[in-house]
Chain A
Amino acid sequence: MSPSAPSTAYAAKATDLTKVYGEGETRVVALDHVSVEFRQSEFTAIMGPSGSGKSTLMHCMAGLDSVSGGSARIGDTELTGLSDKKLTKLRRDRIGFIFQAFNLLPTLNAIENIRLPMDIAGRKPDTAWLDTVITTVGLADRLKHRPAQLSGGQQQRVAVARALAGQPDIIFGDEPTGNLDSRAGAEILGFLRNSVRELGQTVVMVTHDPVAASYADRVVFLADGRVVDDMAEPTAERVLEHMKRFDAGGRTS
């Protein structure tokens, strides 16, 4: 399998995934029978307006939130019905996370933060892989720094390295560049794309930024809790165009 070509095997898959908040009058359907697959070694962006359910989809797929119906799988593992303990273990061993903020523990230095998931698991990290990751994100000379001594971009690079360090089945990013200026954001997105193309990782990222989405191999559009479109080989212009159209359509419907 060539790392640059997306494979057809699924890293994660949602089938009829439904998520409902509240009851009675306050009932909100966040995800309405969503079926979507995330292929291995592919960089997928999930887009959609606020309240479209894009974050909820990611949270459910990543085992951070419970689902109301349907199925969510990481590889062959069905997430629905797993105990908190099993879910935690699954997140620890098979999923990488990059959040918008609060990715790092301020008390640990960069390398300690990177190794944290493995420390929690009590696993020895693969040193060669770790070196590759650190070199890729360009943190070799910052490893002993505390988060407070790093810039926002550097902090997110540590977060990327941490997500990659355990060689997870899939990495979920929740607006990973949301708090960064465009230059630092571009850097992070570049790393994510490289990790897919060169290291064969699988990345799913929630974003509302067309430029960020353009780094992905594929964009899945969500609206009102449903998948409304699926775009391959996106560019920023096409995504923006698509969003405008969708926005207009949304308003008229």
Chain B
Amino acid sequence: MLKTALRNVLAHKARLMMTTLAVLLGVAFVSGTLVFTSTVSEAFQRSSEEGLTNVDVAVQPDDDSDAAEETPGDAANLRQELLDQVTALPGVASATGRVSGFAALADKDGDLVGAGWDTSGANYYAGTGTGGDAERYPMTEGRAPERAGEIALDATTADRADYQVGDTARVSVDGPVREETITGIFTTDDGTVAAGGSLLLFDTATAQELYTAPGEYTQIMLEAAEGTTQQELKDAVTPLLPADAEAITGRQLATDQAAEIEQATSGLRTTMLAFAGISLFVGIFIIANTFTMLVAQRTRELALLRAVGATRRQVTRSVLIEALAVGVVAGVTGFAAGIGIAVGLRSLMTSFDMTIPDGPLIISAPAVLASLVVGVVVTMLAAYLPARRAAKIPPVAAMSSVHSGPTARGLVVRNTIGALFSAAGAVLVVAGTGADDNGATMGLGAGLLVIGVFVLTPLLSRPVIAAASPLLRVFGVSGRLARLNAVRNPRRTAATASALMIGLTLITGITVIADSMSKSIDNMATSSLRSDYVVSLASFGPLSPEVERTLAEQPEVTAITGLRMSPALVADDPDTMNLVGVNGESIDELTSLDFTAGSFENLSGQNVVVDTDTAEDQGWRLGSTFPVTYEDGATGELTVSGLYEGNLMISGIMLDNGTLAPHMQRVEDVQVMLRTENGASDATKERLEQVLGDNPAVLVQDKDDISEDIAYMFTLLLNLVYGLLAMAVIVAVLGVINTLAMSVFERRQEIGMLRAIGLERRSTKRMVRLEAVVIALFGGVLGVALGTFFGWAVGEMLAGFIADFELVLPWTRMVIFLVLAGLVGVLAALWPARRAAKLNMLEAIKAD
């Protein structure tokens, strides 16, 4: 039987090719993901380890310590005295204080270098030991910064922005622009830089001024003297530390970083594997369909085997061995293709300025194993039912030319099951829109509905395709024959269309949800804003209050507020809550919030306004008072003077900055909102930007800019998802190609006859093409319909959480999806149609 099975694989290699390709793509996706993520993870691990070579113990503020918990603020920075003390410890070879934070650098055109979130600044220190390898930031050119107004720049960034030693660069840390002279260019193995970020170095005093306070550090790095272990050093240091600081061994630090990197990449891996799973799931349909067709074509052959004495089990096994062979081939080649994908992804990321540190390609044993297992298991699983069906072929079928296919009764049972599943699914999905169970009901319903529709597709194929007949009539005989051929084998058509349906359901559903979310968030962002402009940092990090002061001085600015966040303990709630500081005098002009009681009017002193949800949680009403512990540990009492309807953008306890500022460790704004005399205009915006020194790090955004930003974010997300789902669609296309190729093969006599009695090549091609388009559109219509329904359902559910939720049905996009589905059909038909047209008539009509 093994020999028979393997011969069959070889005999049908052309027909199995599409199947193999479908599995191969899925496997490639899986192995590509695994190889890529472990390569990235390994590369980052390596670079982070390199950064820690000379660190035996690190001392840093500990926000989670008991001492830090007592006050709501962050743990205090490390003081110079501590650095001096630990330096003097026996067993310490060297101790270095570090200060670091956000630093934006403008290139020569004034544009921000790199993306906002990975541009950092730190203090320069020579490094431990003497020169050589131990030097932390070896200067390739120039010298280290020594005083305010001097900086050093990492070589990659200098190269990218075309800066040289002696140039003046514009830099911003928290808002105001600083003109700095570049005194040196250095190389570094710093992780952020390796990942494509930029690093600016200041002298320590300047860095402290910018990021902490004079004499304060964010981290102290210790190197042990010879003969002292990391643990000994840690034990020696710990007694000297304040309560809210901790000492960590270099080894621990490395492990922690490794875990962090692993966590970051595992998120990516899970997401990508989910999409790989989708395309594999689609692949299952293709495989099952192919084997069903192969078994049907071989009915006589298999019956003959049965007639000469093969048992059912042997027949099943022979089909499964075929599947195994396909699975192994697909697994091995898919794995090879996956490595290609991993390499491709890496260079793709580099071309998007998301540099990944150099490192070898990591091909782990689990990745190899996973590829093979996925390939084999998926294929054999999908081939199981066709294999069972093959075994049921009666030996007598070898004698008769027609073996009756699945009976009508089978379809009745199938349709009943399908209808029940679909109905139950739809009901659950609708019920899920109101259920408060994080979408569990809806998820279950969606699953049932999808299965139900799968089961029902053969039944649905006739009416849906019949609906298309007026369109097909335009194409004359080709159109009519295409329609009839498409409904000829409803199960096959259904399986082919279902494969496409899955991809389109997801694509449409996600588009509906994303568009609706985008619109709703936009509604919220803009409807609650009355300010003309919002000023924030490109990194959305803290903004110096100087920005607000500068802007407030401008004559056209009529109202302005800085928005500040400060953690605090409120009433007897054990969790810290953010107090939102605003300018109590002007906030009313800058926002439009619905007050259920009170107003912004008396927002000064100890008065606060609270969103209704928080108020309800705490049991506050207008006039309620509650105790508060500020981030500096000071306590006070606040009075509720207004209750407003909060939303995702604005919520929480709001009070006047005058009250809040004295308690903040560092007075910083999250953003600044302002109104101008003549409203938003290009001229005003330009002027405001100019006032802020044309600062690359600062964003001045009007409502349209904010809307655009939100829309852009969702577009980016959608495009990413489209890209990932494209794989599932490609697999579905392979399925359409396969079905058509097999259909053409099975109908070669018919096609030969048609050609003989006068059907032109062109019309023959058109017939096959139209059949493909009909099948693809059938899948498309089902997918778009299901996707829209799911999108609506999720939207209804979200509407319960988001006040301004607005369902957006992207009609244009849906039409585009359907057109694309049609194109998929045309594309998939290219090769089968050519084959049909080129068929040798004489071969085809020869009676077998």
User: Does chain B have a CB within 8 A of A133?
Assistant: no
Given contacts A119-B476, A119-B477, A179-B847, A99 and B753 within 8 Å (CB-CB): yes
Q: For residue A95, give the distance in angstroms from its CB to the closest CB of chain B.
A: 8
Q: Which residues of B contact A64 (CB under 8 A)?
A: 756, 841-842
Find the B residue at minimum CB distance from A90: B758
| Chain B nearest Cβ from A219, distance in angstroms | 23
Contact B758–A92 (Cβ < 8 Å): yes
Whether A105 lies near B481 (C-beta < 8 A) is yes
CB interface residues, B 795-848, toward A, < 8 Å: 841-842, 845, 847
22 A-B pairs within 8 Å (CB atoms) are namely: A59-B842, A64-B841, A88-B755, A89-B758, A89-B760, A92-B757, A92-B758, A92-B759, A99-B753, A99-B845, A102-B750, A105-B750, A105-B754, A106-B750, A107-B481, A107-B485, A107-B488, A108-B484, A120-B477, A120-B763, A122-B476, A175-B847
13 other A-B residue contacts (CB within 8 Å) besides A64-B756, A97-B753, A105-B484: A89-B758, A92-B758, A99-B847, A100-B847, A102-B752, A102-B845, A103-B753, A107-B488, A116-B757, A120-B477, A120-B759, A174-B845, A178-B847
Residues A65 and B847 in contact, CB atoms below 8 Å apart? no
B756 touching A91, Cβ below 8 Å:
yes
Chain A nearest CB from B361 CB (Å) reads 52
In B715-768, which residues have CB < 8 Å from any A CB?
Answer: 749-750, 752-763
Q: Which residues of B contact A175 (CB under 8 A)?
A: 847
Cβ contact within 8 Å between B842 and A65: yes
Digitize A119-144: 1 where CB-to-B-CB distance is under 8 Å, 0 elsewhere: 11110000000000000000000000
Q: A241 at interface (Cβ–Cβ under 8 A)?
A: no
**Whole-angstrom distance between the Cβ of A37 and the nearest chain B Cβ:** 23
Q: Is the CB of B757 within 8 A of A91?
A: yes
Q: Is A85 an interface residue (CB 8 A)?
A: yes
Cα-based distance from A100 to B757 in the complex (angstroms): 14
User: Are B749's CB and A117's CB within 8 A?
Assistant: no
The complex places the Cα of A106 from the Cα of B756 at a distance, in Å, of 17
Min CB–CB distance A189 → chain B (angstroms): 18
B486 nearest CB across to chain A (Å): 10
B484 lies within 8 A of A85 (CB): no
Q: Which chain B residues lie closer than 8 Å to A108 at the CB level? A: 484
Report the Cα distance A107→B743, complex, angstroms.
Answer: 14
Q: Is the CB of B757 within 8 A of A120?
A: yes
A84 located at the interface, meaning its Cβ lies under 8 Å from any Cβ of chain B in the complex: yes
Q: Are A85 and B756 in contact (CB under 8 A)?
A: no
Which residues of B lie under 8 Å from residue A162 when comparing CB positions? 757
Interface residue SS majority, chain B: helix
Q: In the complex, what distance in Å separates the CA atom of A91 from the CA atom of B755?
A: 9
Is A93 in contact with chain B by the CB < 8 A criterion?
Answer: yes
State whether B761 touches A84 (Cβ < 8 A). yes
Instruction: Give bound CA distance, A175 to B846, whole Å.
Output: 11
Whether A186 sits at the interface, judged by CB under 8 Å, is: no
B interface residues, how many (CB within 8 angstroms): 25
Complex Cα distance, B759 from A121, in Å, reads 8
Interface size on A, residues (CB 8 A): 32
Chain A, residue nearest B848 (CB): A101
Q: Can you list the 6 inter-chain pairs with the closest CB atoms, starting with the nearest?
A: A92-B758, A107-B484, A102-B749, A101-B847, A100-B847, A119-B477
Residues in chain A near residue B847, CB distance under 8 A: 99-102, 175, 178-179
Roughly how many angstroms separate A97 CA and B842 CA in the complex, as a whole number? 13
Distance, CA A136 to CA B64, complexed state (A): 99
Q: Which residue of A lies closest to B840 (CB)?
A: A65
Q: What separation, in Å, do the CA atoms of A89 and B761 have in the docked complex? A: 11
Residues of A178-200 at the interface with B, using a CB-CB cut-off of 8 Å, are: 178-179
Nearest Cβ in chain A — how far from B845, in angstroms? 5
In the complex the two chains form, what is the Cα distance from A121 to B757 in whole Å?
10
Bound Cα distance from A121 to B750, whole angstroms = 18
Given contacts A103-B753, A178-B847, contact A88 B477 (CB under 8 A): no
- Min Cβ gap A93→B in Å is 7
Residues of chain B with a CB closer than 8 A to A97's CB? 753, 756-757
- Most A CB atoms within 10 A — which of B749, B752, B759, B761? B759
Could you say which of B480, B488, B758, B761 contacts A121, with CB atoms under 8 Å apart?
A: B758
A116 to B756, CA, bound (A): 12
Question: A192-217: contact bitstring with B at CB < 8 Å (1 yes, 0 no)?
Answer: 00000000000000000000000000
Q: Which residues of B contact A106 (CB under 8 A)?
A: 488, 750
Q: Is the CB of A85 within 8 A of B760?
A: yes
From residue 520 to 543 of chain B, which have CB atoms closer than 8 A to chain A?
none
A contact residues around B756 at 8 Å (CB):
62, 64, 91, 97, 99
Q: What residues of chain A lie closer than 8 Å to B750, measured between beta carbons?
A: 102, 105-106
What chain B residues lie within 8 Å of A99 (beta carbons)? 753, 756, 845, 847
Contact flags B139-158 to A (C-beta < 8 A → 1, else 0): 00000000000000000000
Asked whether, in the complex, the Cβ of A116 is within 8 Å of the Cβ of B477, the reply is: yes
A49-80 vs B, CB cutoff 8 Å, 1 = contact: the mask equals 00000000001001011000000000000000
Knowing A105-B481, A116-B477, A178-B847, say if A88 contacts B488 (CB, 8 Å).
no
Distance of A35 Cα from B710 Cα, bound (Å)? 82
Query: Closest A-chain residue to B763, C-beta based?
Result: A120
A102:B753 contact, CB within 8 angstroms: yes
State the CA gap A101–B760 with chains docked (Å): 21
A52–chain B nearest beta-carbon distance, Å: 16
CA distance A119 to B757 in the complex (A): 11
B residues 474-530 with Cβ under 8 Å of A? 476-477, 480-481, 484-485, 488
Contacts of A178 in B (CB 8 A): 847
CA distance A102 to B847 in the complex (A): 8
Chain B hits for A119, CB < 8 A? 476-477, 480
Smallest CB separation, B561 vs chain A (Å): 74
Q: Which B residues, 755 to 796, have Cβ-Cβ distances below 8 Å to chain A?
A: 755-763
Contacts of B841 in A (CB 8 A): 64
Contacts of A120 on B, CB cut-off 8 Å? 476-477, 754, 757-759, 763
B258-291 at interface with A (beta carbon < 8 Å): none
Cα(A175)–Cα(B845), bound, Å: 12
Most buried by B among A84, A100, A102, A108: A102
